[in-house]
Amino acid sequence: MTQELLLLVESNTTGTGRLFPQAARALGLHPVLLASDSARYSWAGDVEVVHAETDSTEAVVDASRCLAATRPIAGITTSSDHFVGTAAAAASALGLPAHAPEAIAAVRDKGVQRRLLAEQGVRVPRFTVAGSVDEALEAAESIGYPVVVKPVTGSGSLGVRLCAEPAETSRHAALVLARGHNERGVPVPRRLTVEEFMTGEEYSAEVLNGSVVGVTHKHLGALPLFVETGHDFPARLAPAVHDALSGAAEAAVRALGLTLGPAHVELRVDRDGPVLIEVNPRLAGGWIPRLVHEATGIDLILDTVKAFCGRASTLDATARGGAAIRFVLAPDNGVLSHLDGVIEARTVPGVTDVEIYREPGADITVAGDFRDRIGHVLARADSPAAAAAAATEGVGLIRPVLVTGMEVPA
Evaluated on CA atoms 303, 308, 309, 313, the torsion sign reads positive
CA–CA separation, 47 vs 154, rounded Å? 27
Give residues with Cβ within 8 angstroms of 290, minimum separation 6.
Answer: 16, 323, 325, 378
Smallest Cα–Cα separation from 337: which of 354, 359, 356, 357?
359
SS percent in the chain: helix, strand, coil, step 5: 35, 30, 35
CA–CA separation, 396 vs 378, rounded Å? 12
DSSP 3-state assignment of 172?
Answer: helix
Q: Is 184 a catalytic residue?
A: no
The backbone region for 209, taken as left when phi is positive above 0, alpha when psi lies in -120 to 50, beta otherwise, is: left
- DSSP readout, 384-405? HHHHHHHHHHHHHT-EEEEE-G
Any bridge partners for residue 227, and if so which? none
Catalytic residue among 282, 326, 371, 373: 282
- Strands of 127-130's sheet in order across: 127-130, 192-196, 147-151, 161-163
* Chain centroid to CA 257: 19
Active site residues: 282
